[in-house]
Amino acid sequence: MVLVPAYAQDQSAPPKALPQDVESVDAIMAAVYDVISGGKDVERDWDRFRSLFHPDAKLIPSGCNAQNQCGATYWTIEEYIERAGPTLMTRGFFESETHRVEERFGNIAHIFSTYDSRFTLEDVEPFQRGINSFQLFNDGSRWWVINIFWQGATPNAPIPAQYSGN
Q: Among 2.60.40.1110, 3.40.630.30, 3.40.50.1820, 3.10.450.50, name the CATH number for the domain at 19-156.
A: 3.10.450.50
Amino acid 14: pLDDT: 86
Query: What is the residue type of 117?
Result: S
Amino acid 65: pLDDT: 83
Sorted by sequence, the CB contacts under 8 Å of residue 4 that are 6+ apart come out as 78
Per residue in 18-42, pLDDT (tens digit) is 999 999 999 999 999 999 999 999 9
Count of C-beta atoms within a 10 Å radius of residue 137: 16
pTM above 0.85, yes or no: yes
Per residue in 113-143, pLDDT (tens digit) is 999 999 999 999 999 999 999 999 999 999 9
Pairing label, strands 143-152, 94-105:
unpaired
Residue ranges covered by each domain of the chain: 19-156
Per residue in 72-117, pLDDT (tens digit) is 999 999 999 999 999 999 999 999 999 999 999 999 999 999 999 9
Per residue in 50-67, pLDDT (tens digit) is 999 999 999 999 998 888
CA atoms within 13 A on the CB side of 51: 17
84/65 Cα distance (integer angstroms) = 19
Amino acid 18: pLDDT: 97
**pLDDT confidence tier of residue 11, bands split at 50, 70 and 90:** low
